[in-house]
């Protein structure tokens, strides 16, 4: 049975994300939850937890090949791709920049 996750009311949630691992899609309408507890949690389409890691251990970079619309996320040693492509090119770039900012703000 997969673990279900409910974000806290103060968490920052990016929903309707395409989340994948390499070329394998994991969620067509997933979410990335930036918790007030300092954790990043990736959720599948049905709210099941794909992976989770402390934000201090997460690295991210925008993918050049997608024009910055997709983030390459490294949670520990596990790599994922996340994109808000359903928001269109401008919305996806804005979401990627906002997620990058949240990740970078937790680096010390």
What is the 3-state secondary structure of 54-106? EHHHEEEEECHHHCCCEEEEEECCEEEEEECHHHHHHHHHHHHHHHHHHHHCC
* DSSP-derived 3-state class of residue 50: strand
Predicted model pTM: 0.91
- Band of the pLDDT at 2, cuts 50, 70, 90? low
Residue boundaries of the structural domains of the chain: 12-104
What would the pLDDT profile of 10-69 be if each residue is shown by its tens digit? 899 999 999 999 889 999 999 999 999 999 999 999 999 999 999 999 999 999 888 889
> Which CATH code fits 12-104?
2.30.29.30
Residue with tokens 């899609």: 25
């Amino acid at each position: 049975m997969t673990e279900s996750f409910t974000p806290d009311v103060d968490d920052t949630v990016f929903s309707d994300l395409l989340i994948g691992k390499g070329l394998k899609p994991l969620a067509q309408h997933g979410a990335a939850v930036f918790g007030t507890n300092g954790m990043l949690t990736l959720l599948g389409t049905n709210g099941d937890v794909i992976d989770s890691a402390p934000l201090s251990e997460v690295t991210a970079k925008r993918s050049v090949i997608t024009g910055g619309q997709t983030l390459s996320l490294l949670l520990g040693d596990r790599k994922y791709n996340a994109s808000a492509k359903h928001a269109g090119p401008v919305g996806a770039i804005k979401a990627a920049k906002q997620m990058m900012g949240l990740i970078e703000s937790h680096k010390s």
